[in-house]
Amino acid sequence: MRRAVFPGSFDPITLGHYDIIERGLTLFDEIIIAIGINADKKYMFSLEERKRFIQEAFKSESKIKVMTYKGLTVDFCKQQDADFILRGLRNPADFEFEKAIAHTNRKMSEIETVFLLTSSGKSYISSSIVRDVIRNGGNVSGLVPDTVKVK
C-alpha cells in the first residue's frame, strides 16, 4: 500500500491544502492528514476544531485518515507504516524551506518526500493570510472549505 502523511498545523485547513490532498489521492492508496501538535504555538482554532474541519471536508473519502501527532514527522510516518511525506509548494520560498526539511528527513529515515505544486488559482492562499482575514472580519469563503466555521 502506498501510504503518505500530509503533515501540518492546518490552522485552518485552506483550499490550497485541499487541492494538494485531492490531487495526492491520485498518487496514493491512503493519505493520513497529520495535525502536528506544538505546545509552544498559539493556534486560532483548537485541535478539536481543526480536526473536525478536515474530517467533515473529507467525510466521503475512504482513502483519507485524520490523525494528530507530537514529535518528529518521520517518527510518526514510521509508526503509521507510511513511506511518503506529501507536501505542497506555493512558491520558490516554500521550495527552499521544504527542500531542507526533506533532505533532513531523508537523512534520518528512508521516507521520501513528494512535492506537488499548488494549483495556480490557489497558490496565494496560506493559513496565516486566512487567520489575518478572520481577525479583521473579512470573508474567507473563497479561501477555505465550507467546513471551516469561523467564530
Tell me the C-alpha distance between 76 and 3, whole Å: 12
Which of 41, 42, 135, 151 is catalytic? The answer is 41
Closest CA to 67 of 5, 113, 20: 5
Told to judge if 119 belongs to the known catalytic residues of this protein, a careful annotator would answer no
Which of 17, 50, 51, 87 is catalytic? The answer is 17
- 118: DSSP letter: P
Residue 105 carries which side chain, given as an amino acid letter?
N
Which residues in 64-80 are b (16+ Cβ under 10 Å) and which e?
A: bbbeebeeebbebbeeb
Tell me the C-alpha distance between 113 and 117, whole Å: 13
Is the separation of the CB atoms in 13 and 50 below 8 Å? yes
Told to judge if 90 belongs to the known catalytic residues of this protein, a careful annotator would answer yes
Which of 63, 127, 135, 151 is catalytic? The answer is 127
Which of 50, 87, 90, 122 is catalytic? The answer is 90
- Residues forming the active site: 17, 41, 90, 127
